[in-house]
Structure formats: structure tokens, C-alpha cells
């Protein structure tokens, strides 16, 4: 793990130098100053206990981010200090997306974001206006002005369509994970949603513009792309009791997995990803707590 962490840092620093070398020194210094301000504001957005302070910091963050992106060659600046803000881009570097959430006073969330296009001639940024409270289904196709907001943690690209894996803190009882579809129309404007998810049962074929799963608020649910399997893999969810099957906030993982396989430019539903099972679950080696405690005491004595 240590080796992998060091390798990641080295690769990140190499990538930073490669793109930063394309920025003029004066612009680079200006972007660094903006980054320092943004770094402070991001901490207030996430860590402040006062909703009003979080909100004010969020609005200030938006203003400073816009100023920073107006700087020439800003697309090549990675903003590595913004650890609490998601910045993702596809392999083709056509654009990148800044994305974050603001926790409101009632424990709900409002989402913010911007898409910066890789345009050397002029700044081209599309602000994302959260329309999450209206878009809660799999059928809507919308634009950046009616964005089905979420916090994205992964992006993959297939044939000029970008698949966004995201999380939404839906309400006090349930969370949502989503795979949305981003593409660009003939005018170069972002569009969210496309008929890319095909689910077939014994009688019908359903085609969805995005895929959404809702589950119990404190459940841990997986939804991601597996590079080894070349599949989108996610937990199969089931209600905690037979009487609560109509209430999605009672759904939790049952230990099995579903998925989607990419075929003919669409994602086709796979009802069971792992077909083999084990008679006994695999447990880690038991921890000898007395031995661990003794080692801890010895360590303390040595450091006195």
C-alpha cells in the first residue's frame, strides 16, 4: 500500500508539472493565489457547524472560482489543494467538471458545479444549476440549467458519451446513487440523460436515460465500474422485511451483485455478476487483542 501511495503521488506531481509548464509564470502565480483562497473557502463549506457560514462560503467560492477560470491557460492548472471539491475529467481532456455539495440547515443537500471546456481561444464554462428536487426519475433529459445534481466520484467514456457515477444525500431516511449520462449537442452544450440503460425481464424491455438506486440512509452501497470485469457493478438491494418492500428507505444490500455490460453502444442489465458462491465466508485472521495491547504499552515506554 505504501508503494502504491508513493507511486500515485509521483504520477500526480509529474502530471502537474507537464500541464503547469504550459502556463505562463504570471498566470501560474495568479492561479496559485486563487487556489489558496479557494482552499480556505472549501474548508468552511464542509467543516463549519453554522449553515449560514457554509452558505456564505459556498457563494464566495463560486465567485473566486469563476475569477480563477477566467485566467488564461487555467484549464491546465490542476487545483490539487481542493481536496474537498471533486474535479473530474475524461481521458480525452475535452472538459473537466468542478463539483461539490452544500449541506443545508435541514440536513438536505444542494449541489453545485461547473463544466470548463478545454478551449484555448476563449473561456467556456457551463454553470450547473441544481434541479435535483424536481428530477427524481430515470426518464428526464435536461441541460446544465436543469441539472440533476449529485456529487460525482467517477467518470468513464464510451463513444463520446460520459457516464457519471454520483451520490445524492436524498433525505433523512434514504440516499441515492446514480449513473447519469453526459454528452454534448451540436452547439457544444451539455446534455444530461440519454437512452443508454437497457433492462430486460421475462416480458418487457425498459430503456432508461439514467440509472438510479435508492437505499437506507446508513447502508453502505457499491455502484462503480470494475475495470477487470469490464462491468458496472452494484449491490442488489432488498427490503429489510417483507412488509416494507414498497419503501425504498428500507432497502439494504443482500450480499449479491447486479451490473451492466456495454454492448452495441448501450449498457445491458446483468442480473447476477458473480455466479459462484462459497460454503463458508472468508474471515480475516483473528486479532489477538492482549498481544496488541502489550505491544502498544511497550511502544509508549520506548518513546518516553
Question: Mean pLDDT in each 10-residue stretch from start to end of the chain (304 residues)?
Answer: 44 46 90 98 95 96 97 95 96 96 88 94 92 72 93 96 96 93 97 96 92 95 96 95 86 95 97 65 45 52 51
| Predicted pLDDT at 241 | 87
* 30-50 CB burial, b ≥16 within 10 A, e <16: bbeebbeebbebbebbbeeee
| Predicted pLDDT at 98 | 98
| Predicted pLDDT at 75 | 96
Termini Cα distance of the chain: 30
DSSP letter at 187 equals T
| Predicted pLDDT at 21 | 58
Separation CA 234–CA 221 (nearest Å):
7
Q: Where are the beta strands (DSSP E) in the chain?
A: 86-88, 95-103, 109-117, 125-129, 142-143, 151-158, 161-168, 174-184, 190-192, 197-200, 205-208, 211-216, 223-226, 231-239, 251-263, 266-270
Separation CA 121–CA 119 (nearest Å):
6
Separation CA 190–CA 139 (nearest Å):
17
pTM of the model: 0.82
Separation CA 277–CA 15 (nearest Å):
42
| Best CA proximity match to 148, nearest among 80, 63, 209 | 209
| Predicted pLDDT at 62 | 97
| Predicted pLDDT at 243 | 82
- Report helix angle 25-47 to 51-69, nearest 10: 160
Backbone angles phi, psi at 209, to 5 degrees: -85, -15
Amino acid at each position: 500500500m505504501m508503494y502504491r501511495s508513493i507511486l500515485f503521488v509521483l504520477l500526480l506531481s509529474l502530471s502537474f508539472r507537464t500541464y503547469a509548464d504550459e502556463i505562463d509564470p504570471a498566470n501560474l502565480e495568479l492561479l496559485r493565489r486563487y487556489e489558496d483562497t479557494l482552499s480556505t473557502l472549501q474548508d468552511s463549506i464542509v467543516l463549519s457547524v453554522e449553515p449560514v457560514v457554509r452558505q456564505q462560503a459556498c457563494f464566495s467560492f463560486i465567485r473566486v472560482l469563476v475569477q480563477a477560470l477566467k485566467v488564461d491557460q487555467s484549464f491546465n492548472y490542476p487545483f490539487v489543494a481542493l481536496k474537498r471539491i471533486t474535479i473530474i475529467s475524461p481521458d480525452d481532456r475535452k472538459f473537466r467538471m468542478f463539483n461539490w455539495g452544500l449541506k443545508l440547515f435541514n440536513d438536505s443537500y444542494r449541489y453545485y458545479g461547473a463544466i470548463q471546456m478545454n478551449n484555448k481561444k476563449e473561456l467556456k464554462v457551463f454553470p450547473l444549476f441544481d434541479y435535483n428536487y424536481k428530477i427524481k426519475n430515470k426518464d428526464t433529459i435536461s441541460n446544465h440549467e436543469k441539472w440533476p445534481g449529485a456529487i460525482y466520484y467517477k467518470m468513464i467514456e464510451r463513444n463520446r458519451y460520459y457516464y457519471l457515477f454520483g451520490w445524492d444525500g436524498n433525505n433523512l431516511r434514504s440516499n441515492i446513487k446514480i449513473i447519469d449520462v453526459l454528452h454534448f449537442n451540436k452547439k457544444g452544450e451539455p446534455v444530461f440523460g440519454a437512452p443508454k440503460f437497457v433492462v430486460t425481464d421475462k416480458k418487457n424491455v425498459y430503456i432508461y436515460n439514467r440509472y438510479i438506486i435508492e437505499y437506507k440512509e446508513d447502508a453502505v452501497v457499491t455502484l462503480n465500474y470494475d475495470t477487470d470485469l469490464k462491468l458496472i457493478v452494484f449491490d442488489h438491494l432488498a427490503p429489510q422485511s417483507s412488509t416494507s418492500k414498497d419503501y425504498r428507505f428500507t432497502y439494504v444490500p443482500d450480499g449479491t451483485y447486479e451490473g451492466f455490460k456495454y454492448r452495441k453502444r448501450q449498457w445491458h442489465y446483468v442480473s447476477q455478476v458473480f455466479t459462484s458462491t462459497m460454503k463458508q465466508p472468508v474471515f480475516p485472521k483473528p486479532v489477538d487483542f492482549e498481544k496488541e495491547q502489550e505491544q502498544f504499552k511497550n511502544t509508549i515506554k520506548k518513546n518516553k
